[in-house]
Amino acid sequence: MTQFKPRDPDFERRVRDSFARQRVMSMLGASLTRVEPGVVEITLPFRGDLTQQHGYLHAGILGTIADSAGGYAGFTLMPPGSTVLSVEYRVHLLTPARGETFVARGQVVRSGRTLTVCELSVEAVAGGQRSTCSIGTQTLICLPEGEARPAG
Amino acid sequence: MTQFKPRDPDFERRVRDSFARQRVMSMLGASLTRVEPGVVEITLPFRGDLTQQHGYLHAGILGTIADSAGGYAGFTLMPPGSTVLSVEYRVHLLTPARGETFVARGQVVRSGRTLTVCELSVEAVAGGQRSTCSIGTQTLICLPEGEARPAG
Amino acid sequence: MTQFKPRDPDFERRVRDSFARQRVMSMLGASLTRVEPGVVEITLPFRGDLTQQHGYLHAGILGTIADSAGGYAGFTLMPPGSTVLSVEYRVHLLTPARGETFVARGQVVRSGRTLTVCELSVEAVAGGQRSTCSIGTQTLICLPEGEARPAG
Amino acid sequence: MTQFKPRDPDFERRVRDSFARQRVMSMLGASLTRVEPGVVEITLPFRGDLTQQHGYLHAGILGTIADSAGGYAGFTLMPPGSTVLSVEYRVHLLTPARGETFVARGQVVRSGRTLTVCELSVEAVAGGQRSTCSIGTQTLICLPEGEARPAG
């Protein structure tokens, strides 16, 4: 994977500040566990009230942490004074989301002036073993701060 | 859209029972507001602890109710003794998810023996006005009950 | 579906000129059969040299005409002096692509300053009967003319 | 990436035979350039009659070789007497498809009894340099031979 150079040396603080404002993340119990240029990981411990009908983590919750991980991976490479929004994302559910902890990873594949494309994955950690339970891809848009809508 | 005929006359009870077991739905405050052959709607009132960094509903939460709406739309047409799982889903975020209430709708487009394809949408309701804030599509798999993993 | 108002009264000529420059379209034998604000259709007669291993139209060829139909549907609503490029597209293959003729349709769902989202479908026509063999969605970007790369 | 073990020792011949029956591949000038358990590559030389309006390879043609590369990557791992069909695929267009040659690669991520998930990519080769111009993902279904329709 290409090595990315952040345009904002203060990218990590900017990502952590924004993540702290995503109230859904603290509600779910998710935390930022890796912030590097072009790569972000979000870790979510299993919780019974986040499950679907068979007791596994709901696919939408996997998608939620994957979408944020990708969004912040893209945000690490955006210039100061910008805002990031998801344009679209998609996830495949490879196996039932069984585990004690889930680690969503966003990895930038293309970082453009306006659009960013990320690969997404979620690993389930169970008994010390990691296995990929979801993969996906995502398109992000970079907007000037204050403009919080997708491309006017 | 084609008129679908359910293979299980008791489909509504089956859908409502399964939805009641999706603990994440009650945690989010979502409820089943329409259950018809091939169409299901899930309604979610806005809540501040479900938001992203600008105070709008997080894209992942939109995806969560859209994924469940599609899953249950597919489930209305599956035979008794079967189980439904998402294979993959994708959502476009058309506008910021601003509103008092969000209505996710799953509509079956193709109902096969093994695979089902749904169209997904989410409408935001604000001041009595409805606008579509998200669309998407989804693939589901029908499994014999007890077998809760995507296609072995 | 919302009624769209073109920003360029001369949109039809602009679409037809661009389509005529898509050399792959004439190579495949595809033609523009509907050009309206926000909606474009492309018709492709079946040909044995466009098939996959079972003698049906290859999924990629369905995707090709669907992608162009969506791209030009978006282009009908873009201002004069702009260029359209696909950011991403996805298609579901609902049934084998059997038929004498295939009609791909792109329908704009959201038309923004920078990004456009379309719904895609392909109908197979066989013995006078139409059936939907593919659906999908697509993201487009509008660029100033001359700038033929996705978002710098 | 996991090492995959083919269930059919004769997988390569089976893939090459099926590819030879995809008439669209020879029409486009595409050839199979790598066939290994879980990985297939298809190479397509640039040709002026495969282009979009700016003279680059049409996104749909990229999608066509990516879809076949993924389909055959999945097919390497399927049992004798089976048939593969695409359920859905999606591609991101990262940069304009400029180059002398294009190499599409399908890589299996999950190989199940019924469903297979692949990662797709296309590299453009220009002046000896390779760059990724497209990525995507795909869902495949494995059917008993003779049954050429997605999941009945």
The tokens of B81 are what? 């003794």
List chains touching A (3+ CB pairs under 8 A): B, C, D
Confidence of residue B3 (pLDDT cuts 50, 70, 90): confident
DSSP E strand stretches across chain D: 31-36, 39-45, 82-93, 101-111, 115-126, 129-144
Alpha carbon of B150 to those of A30, B56, B107, D113: distances in Å? 26, 33, 21, 9
In chain C, alpha helices (H): 11-21, 23-28, 59-75
C46 falls within a domain: yes
Asked if residue C152 belongs to a domain, the reply is no
pLDDT per position as a tens digit, C106-144: 999 999 999 999 999 999 999 999 999 999 999 999 998
Indicate left, alpha or beta for B18 from its phi (over 0: left) and psi (-120 to 50: alpha). Answer: alpha
Do the Cβ atoms of D69 and D41 come closer than 8 Å? yes
D82 pLDDT above the threshold of 90: yes
Does B83 fall in a domain? yes
Distance CA A23, CA A148 (A): 17
Instruction: With a cut of 90, say whether residue C93 has pLDDT above it.
Output: yes
DSSP code for C149: S
A132 in a structural domain:
yes
Angle between helices A59-75 and A11-21 (to 10 degrees): 150
- Of B24, B52, B54, Cβ closest to residue A58: B24
Inform me whether the C-beta atom of residue D113 falls under 8 Å from chain B C-beta atoms: yes
Which residue of A120, A141, A147 is the best one to mutate when testing the C interface, meaning the one whose CB has the most C CBs within 10 A? A141
DSSP secondary structure string for all residues of chain A: -PPP--S-TTHHHHHHHHHHH-HHHHHHT-EEEEEETTEEEEEEE--GGGB-TTSSBPHHHHHHHHHHHHHHHHHTTSPTTEEEEEEEEEEEE-S---SSEEEEEEEEEEE-SSEEEEEEEEEEEETTEEEEEEEEEEEEEEEETT--STT-
Q: Which chains touch C (3 or more CB pairs under 8 A)?
A: A, B, D
* Segment C16-28 mean pLDDT: 98
| Closest CA–CA distance from residue C150 to any residue of chain A (Å) | 8
The string over D66-94, giving b where at least 16 C-beta atoms fall within 10 Å of a residue's C-beta and e elsewhere, is bbbbbbbbbbbbbeeebbbbbbbbbbbbb
Residue D22, CA distances (Å) to C47, C50, D61 in order: 13, 8, 14
B88 interfaces chain A, CB cutoff of 8 Å? yes
Compare CB distances from A92 to D94, D95, D137 and report the shortest one's residue: D137
Selection from C34, C24, C26 nearest residue C60 by Cα: C24
Asked whether residue D29 is domain-assigned, the answer is yes
In sequence order, which residues have a C-beta less than 8 Å from that of residue C37 and are 6 or more positions away? Answer: C3, C4, C5, C6, C11, C76, C77
Q: Which residue of A has its CA nearest to C112?
A: A152
- Domain enclosing residue B100, as ranges: 11-144
Q: Is the pLDDT of residue C12 over 60?
A: yes
- pLDDT on residue A148: 56
Please classify residue A102 by burial: count the beta carbons closer than 10 Å to its beta carbon, then call 0-12 exposed, 13-18 middle and 19+ buried.
buried
Q: How high does pLDDT run on average in chain C?
A: 94
User: What CATH number does the domain containing B107 carry?
Assistant: 3.10.129.10
* Whether C99 contacts chain D with CB within 8 A: no
- Band of residue D3 on the pLDDT scale cut at 50, 70, 90: confident
> pLDDT under 50 in chain A at which residues?
151-152
Q: Which of D25, D33, D43, D29 is nearest to D124 (CA)?
A: D43
pLDDT score recorded for residue C152: 36
Give the best residue of D14, D17, D24 to mutate against chain C (max C CB count within 10 A).
D24
Mean confidence (pLDDT) of chain B: 94
| Residue D4 counted as domain residue | no
Residue of B nearest to A67 (CA): B60
pLDDT at position A152: 36
In this predicted structure, what is the pLDDT of residue D67? 98
Q: DSSP 3-state assignment of D125?
A: strand
State the pLDDT at residue A151: 39
pLDDT given at position C145: 76
Q: Is D130 on the interface with A (CB under 8 A)?
A: no
User: Does D90 score more than 70 pLDDT?
Assistant: yes
Residue C148: pLDDT band with limits 50, 70, 90? low
Residues 6+ apart with CB under 8 A from D36: D76
| C-beta atoms of C96 and D24 within 8 A | no
Residue C2 has a pLDDT of: 60
Does A34 reside within a domain? Answer: yes
The answer to whether position D1 is within a domain reads no
Residues of chain B with C-beta less than 8 angstroms from the C-beta of D152 = 112-114
What are the backbone dihedrals phi and psi of residue C42, each rounded to the nearest 5 degrees, phi first? -125, 130
- Bridge-based pairing of strands B82-93 and B39-45 is unpaired
What does the pLDDT read at residue A53?
95
Number of domains in chain C: 1
* Alpha-carbon distance values, A133 to A48, B17, B125 (Å): 18, 26, 34
